[in-house]
Amino acid sequence: MSPPLSPVRTRNAAATRTAILEAARRRFAHEGYDQTGLRDIASDAGVDAALISRYFGGKEELFEEVLTCGPNIAEFLDGDRDSFGERVAQMLAVEPMREEKFELFLIMLRSASSPKAAEAIRRHSHDAFYQPLETWLGGDDAAVRARLLSCVMMGATMNRVIHEDYLLDGQQRQELCEALARTLDNYVSGPV
């Protein structure tokens, strides 16, 4: 009697690439760029570490790809301009906090002190956030207004990550949401 055949593992480049990206995203979000090792990512993805080099080239390129695959400003800009502040404030202050919505922020925050990651973060911030936002805002002071919006949004995000409920009761959070919406709309609607 012949021994049973081992199951043949099928090769699926797209699935392997996706598994590596997901593992890298989680590691970078929780540990930052410098503390994340390629072997850890490979182990989490269930692949050999050599495949990371094959698909991405190295850690820096993988990090850049993770940034690119994250959410971008388009989800905020999709909709009526007059409701921008309300949409963003609801997401930042009221809607249930889902880790994947905040992962890109955590990745950038935990990796910004790394000289290797900082340049990728700067490029990504410009290309995926500031430039589209400036174009959408329009006007001579669009660059300044985009940075002001970013400061408010990042501050609200940081507070939300630290204290999911902002240490406020439901009514107070609604008041915060309304004030945040007005602040955001102020930078959207007119000159600084």
Instruction: List the chain domain ranges.
Output: 13-69, 74-189
CA 155 vs. chain centroid, Å, equals 15
**Check whether domain 13-69 has CATH 1.10.620.20, yes or no:** no
In angstroms, the CA 13 to CA 51 distance is: 10
The structure's pTM equals 0.83
pLDDT tens digits for 21-68?
999 999 999 999 999 999 999 999 999 999 999 999 999 999 999 999
CB contact set of 35 (below 8 Å; sequence gap of 6+): none
